[in-house]
Amino acid sequence: MSNYIIITDSSCDLPDSLVKELELEVLPLSFIMDGKTYRNYPDNREMSPDVFYGKQREGLMATTNAVNVGEASDAIEAVLKQGRDVLVLAFSSGLSTTYNSFKIAADDLAGQFPDRKILVVDTLCASLGQGMLVYQAAKLRQAGKSMEEVRDWAEANKLRQCHYFTVNDLFFLKKGGRVSAATAVVGTMLQIKPILHVDDEGHLISIAKARGRRASLTALVDKVGELAEDPASQTMFISNSDCAEDAQFVADEIRKRYGAKEIVINSIGPVIGAHTGPGCVALFFTGRHR
């Protein structure tokens, strides 16, 4: 058994089976829908993505809450009390205050547990991009790497985690301030689909437009050819919000064009999905840079 635990948060969107296989601690973020607060656990025990996106399609909106300092402190302290150290890989500080909560909690607990170590990494990643970094870090932990070695690897490689998204409905991006109301109206009329990515500061930004859904999905696949390092040998990740067939199309194209063998597909959880809406497809892979 390793002497340290990797803690992350549920914005990583990792499948529950991988969470268990990799022995991760995943702290759930929360979302509020129809006046009730739910926690976004990897096993979807409080609300499944299918139910969540069904409610969105019916017109219900959701708001989200980051991990707060108290929740972060409780999660870290529980591990420290077992006599084990903690490596935290947190949701991008460019999109959430979750990293700051973990950092404050770690600093507060350091004095209470002087014999234990707590390391906190701002992944500058989101959704399965964060999940991909956590997955790779957990594999290094399983291979016997020390907590410091895994932390150093994560810091050195986090800006090589490429994130590319497209959405089918501009309404949710408008609501979140990612596109203007005029852009949303005109884009919807003309079937313009934005291509977005997470930049080196961990912010979600729009970088291109495609005419029509299939063109936008193909644009994601094209990015593998532009940026990926040895695509045939790496594990790639695809997340989607209630559009599994489109995610499968992207996976099939990547396998056909680049020989990729390992691709993990999972749903976008409600916390990320509150901001993308249904119809989002996101592709994540390791590249030379973002």
Better-scored residue on pLDDT, 58 or 206: 58
pLDDT at position 111: 94
Output the pLDDT for position 205. 85
**Which CATH number is associated with domain 4-158?**
3.40.50.10170
- For residue 242, give the H/E element and its range: none
How confident is the model at residue 191, as a pLDDT? 75
Q: Does residue 174 carry a pLDDT above 90?
A: no
Q: What is the pLDDT of residue 18?
A: 97
CATH level 3 topology of 160-286: Hypothetical Protein Tm841; Chain: A;domain 3 (3.30.1180)
CA 191 to chain CA centroid, nearest Å: 27
Mean pLDDT of 91-118: 97
Mean per-residue pLDDT, 123-147: 98
Evaluate if residue 180 carries a pLDDT over 60.
Answer: no
Helical H segments across the chain, by residue range: 16-21, 49-57, 69-80, 98-110, 127-142, 147-157, 171-175, 181-189, 213-227, 244-258, 270-276
Query: Average pLDDT over the chain, rounded to whole?
Result: 93
CB burial class (10 A; 0-12, 13-18, 19+) of residue 83?
exposed
Position 64 pLDDT exceeds 80: yes
Whether the pLDDT of residue 8 is over 60: the answer is: yes
What is the distance of C-alpha 231 from the center of its chain? 20
Spatial distance between the Cα atoms of 193 and 183, rounded to a whole number of angstroms: 11
Domain regions of the chain by residue span: 4-158, 160-286
Torsion of CA 216, 209, 222, 245, to 10 degrees: -10
Predicted confidence (pLDDT) per residue in 243-256, tens digit: 999 999 999 999 99
Cα–Cα distance, 237 to 70 (Å, whole number): 31
Q: Report whether pLDDT(112) > 70.
A: yes
Tokens 């559009």, residue?
Answer: 243
Tens digit of pLDDT for each residue in 254-287? 999 999 999 999 999 999 999 889 999 999 999 9
Structural contact between residues 37 and 68, judged by C-beta atoms closer than 8 angstroms: no
Residue 173 — very low, low, confident or very high, per pLDDT cuts 50/70/90? low
Backbone angles phi, psi at 15, to 5 degrees: -60, 145
